[in-house]
Amino acid sequence: MEIRNREKQEPFTTKDGSTIRSLLDLSNAPVKEQSLAEATLLKGGATERHYHKVSEELYYVLEGDGVMEIDGEEQVVGPGDAILIPAGAWHEIRATEELRFLCCCAPPYAHKDTYFE
């Protein structure tokens, strides 16, 4: 059985600029097909616009408000919103209020699968 507590996971900054706590991924569990992390962005913060060639992502907003952009289309997002980011889609999220959201990647998140303009 694999159980990880959020408070015991050290946060780090990803290649796109968000602060992440890996909840279950290749670094802390025998994960093979996906990863789960919690991300935070301070008010006014944003991830750097990027894409993943291989990983499909799901975001689930827990707290705060922001603007999600995927391939040039923008939408306001807030608590309870689930967002699909297809592999290969350019995307960024901007926090209009401090934002906390879950990120699920399949296959698991990897720095080497993050590409910028």
Question: Taking the domains of the chain in order of start, what are their residue ranges?
Answer: 11-99
How much is the pLDDT for 117?
75
Answer whether 81's CB lies under 8 Å from 23's CB.
no
pLDDT, block means (10 residues), the chain with 117 residues: 92 86 92 95 95 97 98 98 98 97 95 88
How much is the pLDDT for 15?
79
How much is the pLDDT for 81?
98
Answer whether 88's CB lies under 8 Å from 53's CB.
yes
Which of these CATH numbers, 3.90.1420.10, 2.60.120.10, 2.50.20.10, 3.20.20.70, describes 11-99? 2.60.120.10
- pTM exceeding 0.75: yes
Give the chain's count of helices (H) and strands (E).
Answer: 0, 11
How much is the pLDDT for 17?
80
